Amino acid sequence: MPISNDFSQRLYPKLPDIAAHFGTPFHLYDEEGFRETGRQLQQAFSKVEGFREYYAVKALPNPSILRIMADMGFGFDCSSIAELILSRQAGAKGEDIMFTSNNTSLEEFMAAQEEGGCILNLDDINLIDKVPEMPELVCFRYNPGAARSGNSIIGKPTEAKYGVTHEQIFAAFEKARARGAKRFGLHTMLASNECNASYMVQTTQMLLDLAAQIGQTLNIQFEFINIGGGLGIPYRPEEAVFDVALLGEETHKLLEAFSAKQGYKPKVYMESGRYITGPHGVLVTQAINSKETYRNYVGVDACMSALMRPGMYNAYHHIAVLGKEPSPQDPLVDVVGSLCENNDKFAIQRALPKVEEGDLLIIQDTGAHGQAMGFNYNGKLRPQELLLKADGSVERIRRAETLEDYFATLSFEPKAWSGSL
Ligand SMILES: *Cc1c(COP(=O)(O)O)cnc(C)c1O
């Protein structure tokens, strides 16, 4: 949806100068916006003791951004070695990091357990014997199967590759305990970009019910539940903002009820990515061509290498044209990049003010799963990333990829196999 008034007021007056200074295209992120959303989240969960957000690094894996997250007191949710390194470089230590991998390799387990380790969130019962060293604190990712519906990004729980089934989860904790685990957490992540706070409340309820059942059966007190990420943001103008205050309030009530029956309260963790950074990023790109054929096209200097979501999920991203207001007479256009794939379109049959060459287009809500999902197909390179800082200045926080980067993997030690008898 149109970026917040605060963000556009901070950005738009300076945008022509920023574009002239750094060149287009670029993703630009709004530090004030991140901090404001961070404050709202902490405020919403202020009655939930021990609440902590573990920012999902994959949403925006840039060191400057991760330092802001660490500064807000957030931990990090990682699922690869690179993400572990990024988190540790941002100052995270030990239990500041949650490692939620799936189909995990031995190499990944080893990296997770280096440098003071992290909270291991195991995705399968068969991994218990494969963890090189069973940590004292262990968590399992739960998949409720047919008991819950998912949504389009993750799919139905019964078809999703994630997590341990209801039948397996009791045995999983028992087995982990037999291998030496002493402290326990319970995790799930069922949906992504879920805009309905009640769905997330039901997820919290589900985890607490399960924690009570497992707790009674195995005599375990859970140190935490992790309700996952997946909080949605309104990409379309008509969509509503996620009611995080409701989720916080209901979570508080559910914990009170849990505590009355079980005699203790687990801490509540969350690992949002999109909710924290999504609305506070834009992809700024310049119109370089226009084409009138069976449809009218606006060609811009970014392509889907910078933002996969429209091509991959048919996702909507709102677009503004700098200095031009929408009107009912606006023509319908497809906004396209230069990649030889017909799904390289940032917008399809979108009413936009008449775009002229040189205009700046602001593709909105790219602060999560934007640059990070980019790729190099067709030899396309990913753009630079800029940070609009709280003091109003703008800093480059990642340079654009270059052709040298693209060709770097072609410079290597020769190696061949000639076959053998
Ligand atoms: C991707 C992911 C997240 C973050 O999802 P958002 O939709 O960005 O909140 C959190 N946890 C896990 C395990 C994930 O894979």
Domain count, the chain: 2
The answer to whether residue 362 is domain-embedded is yes
pLDDT band at 45 (very low <50, low <70, confident <90, very high): very high
Per-residue pLDDT, 196:
93
| Parallel, antiparallel or unpaired: strands 281-292 and 26-30 | antiparallel
Average pLDDT for residues 294-313, to the nearest whole number? Answer: 97
The answer to whether residue 67 is domain-embedded is no
C-alpha 193 – ligand 1 centre gap (Å): 9
**Mean of per-residue pLDDT scores for the chain:** 95
- Of 221, 252, 272, the one marking the end of a domain is 272
C-alpha 266 – ligand 1 centre gap (Å): 21
316: CATH:
2.40.37.10
Ligand 1 closest atom vs CA 192: 7
Per-residue pLDDT, 1:
79
The verdict on 264 and 285 lying in the same domain is no
In angstroms, rounded to a whole number, what is the distance separating the alpha carbons of residues 62 and 99? 18
Average pLDDT for residues 79-92, to the nearest whole number? Answer: 97
170: CATH:
3.20.20.10
| Helices within 263-402 (DSSP H only) | 274-277, 309-313
Ligand 1 closest atom vs CA 275: 9
The answer to whether residue 127 is domain-embedded is yes
Pocket residues: Cβ below 6 A from ligand 1? 56, 58-59, 77, 100, 189, 192-193, 228-231, 271-275, 368
The verdict on 235 and 306 lying in the same domain is no
Per-residue pLDDT, 149:
77
The verdict on 339 and 235 lying in the same domain is no
Per-residue pLDDT, 327:
96
For ligand 1, mutation pick of 74, 77, 276, 280 (most atoms within 8 Å of CB) = 77
The verdict on 135 and 267 lying in the same domain is yes
Per-residue pLDDT, 153:
66
**pLDDT over threshold 90, residue 269:** yes
pLDDT band at 158 (very low <50, low <70, confident <90, very high): confident
The answer to whether residue 411 is domain-embedded is no
The answer to whether residue 36 is domain-embedded is no
Per-residue pLDDT, 157:
87
pLDDT band at 421 (very low <50, low <70, confident <90, very high): low
The answer to whether residue 156 is domain-embedded is yes
Among candidates 374, 387, 385, 294, which has minimal Cα distance to 337? 374
The answer to whether residue 418 is domain-embedded is no
The verdict on 222 and 318 lying in the same domain is no
pLDDT band at 156 (very low <50, low <70, confident <90, very high): confident
Per-residue pLDDT, 159:
83
Per-residue pLDDT, 173:
97
The answer to whether residue 131 is domain-embedded is yes
* pLDDT (tens digit per residue) in 337-372: 999 999 999 999 999 999 999 999 999 999 999 999
The verdict on 112 and 203 lying in the same domain is yes
- Of 272, 300, 334, the one marking the end of a domain is 272
The verdict on 212 and 349 lying in the same domain is no
The verdict on 111 and 238 lying in the same domain is yes
* pLDDT (tens digit per residue) in 237-257: 999 999 999 999 999 999 999
In angstroms, rounded to a whole number, what is the distance separating the alpha carbons of residues 414 and 412? 6
Using alpha carbons only, give the angle 59, 61, 63 rounded to the nearest 5 degrees.
Answer: 145
Among candidates 136, 156, 155, which has minimal Cα distance to 146? 156
Which H, E and C letters describe 368-379, residue by residue? Answer: CCCHHHCCCHHH
The verdict on 240 and 150 lying in the same domain is yes
C-alpha 265 – ligand 1 centre gap (Å): 24
Per-residue pLDDT, 152:
64
The verdict on 260 and 310 lying in the same domain is no
**pLDDT over threshold 90, residue 177:** yes
pTM of the model: 0.95
C-alpha 387 – ligand 1 centre gap (Å): 23
The verdict on 265 and 289 lying in the same domain is no
The verdict on 115 and 251 lying in the same domain is yes
Using alpha carbons only, give the angle 87, 88, 92 rounded to the nearest 5 degrees.
Answer: 80
Q: Which structural domain range is residue 243 located in?
A: 93-272
- Of 240, 272, 304, the one marking the end of a domain is 272
